[in-house]
Structure 1
Amino acid sequence: MFLMYHTDYPKEFPADFLWGGATAANQIEGAWNVDGKGLTTAEVVSKATNKKKMSMDDVDQESLNLALNTSLVDNYPKRRGIDFYHHYAEDIELFAEMGFKVFRFSIAWARIFPNGDDRFPNEDGLKFYDHILDELEKYQIKPLITLSHYEMPIALTQKYNGWTDRRVIDMFTRYTETVFTRYGKRVEYWLTFNEINTATWGFHATGALDQDLSSKEQLQLRYQAIHHQLVASALATKQLHELCPNAKMGCMLARMQTYPATPNPIDVQATQIADQKNLFFSDVQARGEYPEFMNRYFAEQKIKIMMDPDDQQILAQYPVDFVSFSYYMTTVTQSNQDGTAVGNMATGGRNPYLEESDWGWQIDPIGLRITLNEMWDRYQKPLFVVENGLGALDKLEDGKVHDNYRIDYLRQHIQQMKEAIKDGVNLLGYTMWGPIDLISFSTSEMSKRYGFIYVAQDDQGNGSLQRTRKDSFYWYQKVIKSNGEDLK
């Protein structure tokens, strides 16, 4: 008897593909001191003076003290966001009009536990997210909730220097148990730490002040903080599976795909090492153990990770169910780098074959297909593209925004996702970053706009906050209705 190998393959997006958009509490909610909410790490970061330079880690004790002693929002735009706190019903209705199947948002830890280590949760904060879930259920939009999106209570920085202190693990798991118990039966998809790998950059993700340390001391501090987050992520996954057996937990990586600058083997090797350092975090969360390749790096950098006896067992027993990531740009790597791309979320060599955005981020749709294939091959777990989008200088003219450049960007990336699905990648969904204009994470600008929906607010916070549908709004509506078939 002859057996024929199965040669059919998917030709289109799955029928249950999750189309939607993604946001973060610190970039949209505002209401920073309303209904018992505590101050967060995001809300002490002042706006950048250079749009191509990140400001979210420019925090030292002096600037922190200044931020703590002012109630002004002028220099701290994430305190005002776009006032989603009072516009959430209107905004979710607009998402529903586009046809969203899923909406990714984060819970602000400091709305639930204002100081992070409070004995009891803040009921007003819990009720706010009840209301969001009510609105999503009204329109049959699935929530995808990020538990920690660069917005831990600043009190944990003051008391414990953030995640450098192991005691913060217990504070985080008290918070996660609280929200799983409250919302777990209403939420199928969760993420632990947003872009956990960016914690190697510093304060915004670790909550730790480290500017007075040497570079090696900073690395030691940051990787120790990251270890505590990895353990906390595994424990949160354990909680979720016990409390909500049908729910799924994912990790979230800032995927920084890089290519060799030349075929020279030393450039190829340098690229491999750069990739390993990027994928180390999802390796631990998806595979359940520290990869061997980090042993050499830790030894050469004189980094010693302090672990409790059960840590490795915890990581091994509670890996995530799916792997999510952000994808914005790619770079090139060479063994002796002499110049970097100016994109403020990833550094690396400039690729002469790629165009770039107004903020210097190189645009590489094919790189998304490459990334999806490599991630699927590495983990064999469902993937989810939870951030991808184009920040641009949109203009509102006669009540309209003609953003064909955004449509073109998204069209090309969606086409490459479809190609990856044809390649055999198991892709759960796509939540485009910033479906509504919001405060930029890296520079706290408003003028860097991603959304399908224009928000009438400038960099100084002036404006009516009126919401206006852009041309891309109607285009994405058509894409979702056709399940990714109509991209014209």
Structure 2
Amino acid sequence: MVKKEELLKEHEGEDSNKEISRSDFPPNFVFGVATSAYQVEGACKEGGRGPSIWDSFSHTEGKIIDKSNADVAVDQYHRYKEDVELIAKLGFDAYRFSISWSRIFPDGLGTKVNEEGINYYNNVINALLEKGIQPCITLYHWDLPLHLHETMGGWLNKEIVNYFAVYAETCFASFGDRVKTWITINEPLQTSVNGYDVGIFAPGRHQQSSTEPYWATHHQILAHAAAVSIYRSKYKDKQGGQIGLVLDCEWAEANSDKIEDKAAAARRLDFQFGWFLHPIYNGDYPETMRERLGDRLPKFSEEEKELILNSIDFLGLNHYTSRFIAHATDRLEEADFYKAQEMERIVEWEGGEVIGEKAASEWLYVVPWGIRKVLNYIAQRYNNPPIYVTENGMDDEDSDTSPLDAMLDDKLRVVYFKGYLAAVAQAIKDGVDVRGYFAWSLLDNFEWAQGYTKRFGLVYVDYKNGLSRHPKSSAYWFLRFLKGSEGKKD
């Protein structure tokens, strides 16, 4: 098993008590905050917006832990000016947000543009630019137009590639004169696994989990590549932007020096990252996946391989936590995707101590050294592409009993950001081409299946008092950090 002293010795210099400052990063390094449309916008039936799969899913009995939905969410649709003002006051350079596909095309089909949706995002973009904040847009953050799911099976149907391409092009044409950073799809793995295998995310399918997640990924990769191809051939030269894909990854640390544990950890990374990056860099899925999944893994045609190859200008990394990985077979209770990996995720060191302090979500532990390892892994495995850390953060449990000042004093989140940012700075020193970092998230918001029970925000949203915004200690820590006045004492 992993010896704590040995591993942590490798990561000296990433101690969260150590001073970390803006000057530890390159001068042009981008610091931003992030959100997604369904989690913050609300106004679900306003401005011509059509329903998404998450509207339907969150209104289905038993799907959301606190029986909530995001019909109103934190109402950014009406309060975007206030939120842009907050981003500016805190000193961030950029705001990563997503566009709701069903605000642009209410049925997803791309036949008639909803001008009210275009106007709304134009207003957001212009408000950001007036404050000197770069808009970084995600085209798809899980909120598929419901019509596409109900009439053709959503990501299970290859036709969706064409619909996504039309939607993407409409966004490039409408906003690309001012938007210079585009992300096609956020965390396609979560859509595929949680949406079509485990079933805990919209559209909540688990009926054919031995095949559907793999087709959902196949079509997401093709949709991503189609959008990139359109951007590069028609818009990039004129607009001067960049386009990438956002993947999520827990670091997988082998649980021991045994060959089978090391192989299991490597396999885990192939199933998380290689599933998407191997096709982009090598034209096909990883051999480890082909061996385990056989014909259940779809095949790319030669023409598709050509389309996919090198279809990113940068990679977005969403990273929160890490695990020890041991080889394990016959894990009967797990979903297909996890079973096929023949591994066990472990959260304890050799002596039984947990891998890091636990946040509110059951899956999230504070493990700063993991992000440096992930970043170095990407650089070594995939020829050091430009990387933006597009999400990183931790959550607190919502509390009905804690007074507001206690909820605002988020000491562990400050420790989390100090430690993870120190590890990112170390990765840059290691030679990894990291160009930016986005904290997740700007605001407390609708946390998918967890509803409003978890709070990831730098800014507290008071759900009981008109959704008023209150910056937490972590927001003020970033304010000082970004102004260059953050010292050892907080």
Whether these two folds match at TM > 0.5 is yes
Residue 229 of structure 1 pairs with residue 220 of structure 2: yes
Q: How do 1:146-157 residues align onto structure 2 when only pairs under 5 Å count?
A: 146-157=138-149
1:253 to 247, 261, 275: 247
> Displacement of 1:468 after TM fit?
1.2
Q: Which amino acid letter does the alignment assign opposite residue 222 of structure 2?
A: V
In the alignment, is residue 349 of structure 1 matched against residue 346 of structure 2? yes
Contact 1:339-1:348 at 8 Å conserved across structures? no
Q: For the structure 1 residues 265 and 253, does the alpha-carbon distance in structure 2 shift closer, same or farther, using more than 3 Å as the test? A: same
CA distance in 2, matches of 1:331, 1:454: 29
User: Aligned AA for 1:248?
Assistant: Q
2:345 counterpart letter in structure 1? G
Pairwise CA distance, 1:92: 0.7
2:293 to 298, 319, 325: 298
Do the aligned partners of 1:414 and 1:484 also contact (CA within 8 Å) in 2? no
Give SS of 2:454's match.
coil
RMSD, aligned CA: 2.8
Q: Which amino acid aligns with 1:26?
A: Y
Kept in 2, the 8 Å contact 1:421–1:427? The answer is yes
Which secondary structure does the structure 2 equivalent of 1:386 belong to?
Answer: strand
Q: Secondary structure at the match of 1:158?
A: helix
1:189 to 159, 181, 197: 181
CA gap 1:285/1:295 in 2 versus in 1, 3 angstroms:
closer
Distance 2:169 2:79 in 1: 28
Count of residues paired in the alignment:
443
**1:125 shift after superposition:** 0.5
- 2:431 matched to 1:424? yes
CA distance in 2, matches of 1:471, 1:76: 27
Q: Percent identity?
A: 27
Partner residue of 2:466? 464
Q: Classify 1:406/1:47 alpha carbon distance in 2 versus 1 (closer, same or farther; 3 Å).
A: farther
Quote how far apart the aligned CAs of 1:142 are. 0.6
Match of 1:99 among 85, 91, 95: 91
* Preserved CA contact (<8 Å) 1:354 1:364: yes
Q: Distance in 2 between matches of 1:243 and 1:416?
A: 36
1:211 alignment partner in structure 2: 206
Aligned to 2:305: 312
1:281 and 2:275 aligned = yes
* TM-fit CA distance, 1:312: 1.5
| Alpha-carbon distance in structure 1 between the residues aligned to 2:33 and 2:210 | 33
Are 1:26 and 2:28 matched, yes or no?
no
- CA distance in structure 2 between the aligned counterparts of 1:337 and 1:18, rounded to whole angstroms: 43
List alignment gaps of at least 5 residues for structure 1. 1-9, 59-73
Q: Which of 375, 379, 383 matches 2:387?
A: 383
Cα distance in structure 2, aligned partners of 1:358 and 1:209: 24
Q: How far does residue 452 in structure 1 lie from its aligned partner after superposition?
A: 1.8
* AA at the equivalent of 2:241: A
Task: Note the C-alpha offset of 1:385.
Answer: 0.6
| C-alpha distance in 2 between matches for 1:118 and 1:48 | 27
1-structure distance, mates of 2:158, 2:485: 45
Partners of 2:300 and 2:135 lie apart in 1 by 34
Q: CA deviation at 1:116?
A: 0.6
Q: 1:357-372 to 2 correspondence within 5 Å?
A: 357-360=359-362, 361-372=364-375
Quote the offset at 1:297 in angstroms.
2.7
Task: Specify the code of the residue in structure 2 equivalent to 1:420.
Answer: A
SS in 2 for 1:114: coil
In structure 2, the CA distance between the partners of 1:432 and 1:398, relative to structure 1 (3 Å rule), is: closer
The CA deviation at 1:184 is: 0.7
CA–CA distance in 1 between the matches of 2:107 and 2:486?
Answer: 43
Q: What is the CA–CA distance in structure 1 between the aligned matches of 2:330 and 2:58, rounded to whole Å?
A: 30
Question: Does the 8 Å contact 2:440/2:456 carry over to 1?
Answer: yes
> Does residue 108 of structure 2 align to residue 116 of structure 1?
yes
TM-score by length of 2: 0.84
Q: Which amino acid aligns with 1:416?
A: A
Pick closer, same or farther for the CA change 1:433–1:319 going to 2, 3 Å. Answer: same
Classify the secondary structure of the residue corresponding to 1:172: helix
Superimposed CA distance per residue, residues 230-283 of structure 1 (whole angstroms, 9 cap, x where no aligned partner): 111111111112213221111111112111222221111111111111112341
Aligned to 1:392: 396
Alignment check: 8 A CA contact 1:20 1:103 kept? yes
CA distance in 2, matches of 1:231, 1:207: 21
Residue identity in the other structure for 2:213: R
Shift of 1:202: 4.0
The answer as to whether partners of 2:243 and 2:312 remain within 8 angstroms in 1 is yes
Once the two structures are TM-superposed, the CA of residue 46 in structure 1 deviates from its matched residue by: 3.1
Is 1:269 the equivalent of 2:263?
yes
CA contact under 8 A between 1:324 and 1:386: conserved in structure 2? yes
1:80 deviates by 1.8
- Worse overlay, 275-284 or 116-125: 275-284
TM-score by length of 1: 0.84
SS at match of 1:219: coil
Helix, strand or coil at the partner of 1:77? coil
Q: Which of 157, 160, 178 is the equivalent residue of 1:165?
A: 157
CA deviation string 1:62-94 (max 9, x = no partner)? xxxxxxxxxxxx944222210000010001100
Distance 1:39 1:437, change over 3 A: same
Q: 1:439 Cα shift?
A: 1.1
